[in-house]
Structure 1
Amino acid sequence: MKKDNLVRIGKSLLQHGKHNDRIYILKMAPDDGEIIFDSIEKLQEKYSYGKIIGKIPESISSLFEKKGFIREAWIEGFFQRKENVFFMSKFFDLKRSKDQKNEVIPDKKNIFETTHHTVFPIKNLTGKDVFSLKKLYRKVFKTYPFPVHSAFYLYQTMRNNVFYSGIYDRGKLIAAASAETDFKNLNAEMTDFAVLPEYRKKGLASLLLSHLEKRMAPKGIQTFYTIARSASYGMNQVFASASYLFSGKLINNTEINGSIENMNVWFKNYSPETNF
């Protein structure tokens, strides 16, 4: 299946395509307002996507509100701990704008403690691991928003400030996750979690999350966040138990395993007292 396209507009970055049936403003430069609105309007006229969503600095969010965008979620201190980011969306399909799924959001007060029984060491993954990583992602994800089934893509991300950690068992990669870092803005997205079915419910995702946080904090990362599948109670539970704050749901946002899914946004700000 053809993946969505990445397009640089001024100093901003967009992703668009029919795979997710959306335009996604991945990076919004404050000075690009006029050209971004012009670009997304032309793309929308041409392709008739169901949704436009963007990660928008709070300081220019009013420009998007005037264009009919609504805030679905936010992350405190996303830009160098000085400014928040808003996830702002505009729907062009009435059905897509409706949340018709009965998904439960974990609360730290009602989650259970996970006992870690793993005896497998956690490894910092490198270019030597990309084929094992590709194989793992192919087994776990039939489809995915980004081309993680490509060893070349995974290798390229490793060269561009994406850090992967993984767990091997007898030479087989059984679990992995990544931290997609933005060193300029001191934040990292904790993402791409995958655990083989036969190794689930052993606390491996929580171990990977803690491991990645401990790797990133000394590098200066101050805000950690994730955009997790709302349908995956277990994955959301991992972040709730790690003291992340739930800040909103992105309705019918992302194509995973053949369907457009809701996504939950969680974040945590780092301080020297933070317990990983």
Structure 2
Amino acid sequence: MNQTASTIYVNEANYYCELYLDPFNKRIRVDDYRGNTKLLLERVTEFVTQHQMEKLIIKGRSEDFLTFIEAGFQPEAIVDRYFLGSDAHFFSKFFSPERKRNDHWITEDRMIQSIYQLSPSLDKTIPPKEYELKKADENSVDELSALYKQVFQIYPTPLHNPDYIKKTMKDGTIYYVFTYQGKIVSTASAEINAYYKNAELTDCATLTEHRKYGLMKLILQELEKELRNNGIFCAYSIARALSFGMNAALFQLGYSYRGRFMNNCYIYDKLEDMNMWVKNLANC
């Protein structure tokens, strides 16, 4: 099977939908749709069978909530104000018993409970002056790619490929980095949906030896500032459910937990659950 992800636009007489085919993670995601929801679900399910996928994810509208429930989907997460101010409900349906099996769910539930016991205030750690925060450009793609290779053995998108990072930059994704002695040691990005005015803060990576200074929180705050300046107030981030540090950082940055995707993607070293965190930047 071709492991390259692709976007397909299905335009029929009664409906339209935008599909993200993701063979590496054995899933299909419906990023947008309109028209006859029942007919488009039938068509999308055909794609699942045709491409031997294991999971189907839909970014649903509130008005279609019961339609998805009746079709056998389960709600996994919500992003407040995703669709130009209206909430997005992320529904999923599984197509293999193994993809629905999970041994970490209770552990991950307890982690969320423990994170909500933390002080919501940020510590004011200031990194040493050798660290410099700046916006990355296309000249940084080789170094960014090398950093992602070092941090992640497996990643759900091809960030190990400099050409892919360059393409995301051309498509409007913003990257910020911290450098140490001129070398990139920490980075994150904001993937912007210009039509619906939202952004996913993602691709967070810091080299192990540089994790004690809170660099990631400072990068995320800088990305938030740029999003606000561009009139984008819906920010969300999806973190590995087993990563206490990243989930705690998002909580302390003012993000709210909004659900968990079961067996969502291959990241770090295996198929993992992912937590959804959401923040309204208009309140900052």
**Contact 2:188-2:220 at 8 Å conserved across structures:** yes
Output one character per residue of 1:159-195: Cα deviation in whole Å (capped at 9) or x when no partner. 1121110011112110000001112212110100000
Q: 1:72 aligns with which of 67, 76, 81?
A: 76
Any gaps of 5 or more consecutive residues in structure 2?
none
Report the Cα distance in structure 2 between the residues aligned to 1:111 and 1:140, rounded to whole angstroms: 28
The answer to whether residue 102 in structure 2 is matched with residue 99 in structure 1 is yes
Question: Which has the larger share of helix?
Answer: 2
Output one character per residue of 1:36-88: Cα deviation in whole Å (capped at 9) or x when no partner. 3243222222243221112222222333222111101101111111x110110
Q: Give 2:80's aligned amino acid.
A: E
User: How do 1:178-217 residues align onto structure 2 when only pairs under 5 Å count?
Assistant: 178-217=189-228
Q: 1:87 aligns with which of 86, 90, 101?
A: 90
Indicate the percent of aligned positions where both proteins have the same amino acid. Answer: 30
The answer to whether residue 63 in structure 2 is matched with residue 59 in structure 1 is yes
TM-score of the superposed pair, with normalisation by structure 2: 0.88
The answer to whether residue 6 in structure 2 is matched with residue 5 in structure 1 is yes
**Contact 1:80-1:222 at 8 Å conserved across structures:** no
* Segments ≥4 residues shifted beyond 6 Å: none
Q: 2:118 aligns with which of 97, 110, 124?
A: 110
TM-score of the superposed pair, with normalisation by structure 1: 0.91
Q: 2:146 aligns with which of 135, 138, 154?
A: 135
1:108: Cα distance to partner? 4.1
Output one character per residue of 1:94-137: Cα deviation in whole Å (capped at 9) or x when no partner. 33223311221153432585452413121011111111111111
SS state of the match for residue 24, structure 2?
Answer: coil
Report the Cα distance in structure 1 between the residues aligned to 2:281 and 2:176, rounded to whole angstroms: 20
Output one character per residue of 1:193-243: Cα deviation in whole Å (capped at 9) or x when no partner. 000111113201111111100111010001110111101110001110011
**Contact 1:115-1:202 at 8 Å conserved across structures:** no
Which structure would you say has the larger RCO, counting Cα contacts within 8 Å and 6 or more residues apart?
1
Could you say what the CA RMSD is over the residues aligned between the two structures, in angstroms?
2.0
Check 1:32–1:155 CA distance in 2 against 1; reply closer, same or farther (3 A cut).
farther
Q: How many residues align?
A: 271
Any gaps of 5 or more consecutive residues in structure 1?
none
User: How do 1:113-262 residues align onto structure 2 when only pairs under 5 Å count?
Assistant: 114-118=123-127, 119=129, 120-262=131-273
Q: Give 2:125's aligned amino acid.
A: H
Check 1:111–1:139 CA distance in 2 against 1; reply closer, same or farther (3 A cut).
farther
